[in-house]
Amino acid sequence: MSGALKEVRNRIKSVQSTQQITKAMKMVSAAKLRRAQDAITQMRPYAHKLQEMLSNIVSNSDGDVNLALATERPVENVLIVIVTSDRGLCGGYNSNLIKLTRQLIFEKYREQHSRGHVSVLPIGKKGYEHFTKNGFKVVDKYWDIFTGLSFDKVQTAAKYAMEAFANKEVDKVELVFSEFKNAATQAFIAEQFLPVSKVQKKAGETNADFIFEPSKEVLISELMPKILNTQLFKAVLDGNASEHGARMTAMDKASDNANELLKSLKISYNRARQAAITTELTEIVSGAAALNG
């Protein structure tokens, strides 16, 4: 019985040790989440307004300007940019992003994939490891962006996608990321990055009226890459906040599960202890009875 007691006692120590780690990780993620949430909250209105402006300009150009990054053409080659995390232990965050990307590849772009015309540009180590291990065509230059995250680093990945599209190496660029809602909720999104989408005007709606200074050509050629850089940076910031929120929630649940397991183990330990005491008492009484007999 002492062996059983020792085994339960060791399990209790192990669970307590694990619980200390999960609580510490929750606190670290909570601190990082506050910073990441502030960053995306401040960035989002600016990025949305820029995107709205860009879509309106593209919609109202009517072919009078050469918009290389807004040109629709038959989709032969596809680039999918996926934003995952560098580390795990964040619940289903990475697996949901990878699942959505695979769904795009095997459903929406099945024909292109069958001809080997789908490439994946992972941002984040987890996405890079999965798609490399499973034999996909991977652009392996930008997966470590979260190591010292900055706008300049993200801009290099956006520039690669824009140059590939402008040079007709790819005909469509999709962006897969997690939009941060709150610590417990993320929305997993796949959206078109290139070509730049036009605004769908409702019936009776008039075109937005812009006054261009300098000329429309100069303004668009300068603005479009900058706005697209901002869009990708927003997606990366969304992903960064989503990761910390998902990890904080996962570690909170893990700590709660450890509490439940500890209760169960302590009950088992007490029962085993009582059984051991009862056995010892029985042996003592039996020994005393034998002596008296």
Catalytic (active site) residue 90: yes
Q: Which amino acid is at 171?
A: D
* Structural contact between residues 105 and 116, judged by C-beta atoms closer than 8 angstroms: no
Half-sphere exposure of residue 254: CA atoms within 13 angstroms, side-chain side: 21
Backbone φ, ψ for residue 108 (5° rounding) = -65, -40
Q: Residue 202: exposed, middle, or buried by beta-carbon count in 10 A (0-12, 13-18, 19+)?
A: exposed
- CA distance linking residue 245 with residue 249, whole number of Å: 6
- CA distance linking residue 138 with residue 129, whole number of Å: 10
Active-site annotation holder among 90, 139, 157, 194: 90
- CA distance linking residue 41 with residue 58, whole number of Å: 27
Tokens 């991977």 belong to: 138
Q: What is the dihedral of CA 76, 131, 150, 249, to 10 degrees?
A: 120
144 contact partners, CB below 8 Å, separation of at least 6:
86, 125
Question: From residue 127, how far is each of 25, 29, 88, 131, 143 by CA, in Å?
Answer: 22, 20, 11, 6, 8
* Residues annotated catalytic, as ranges: 90
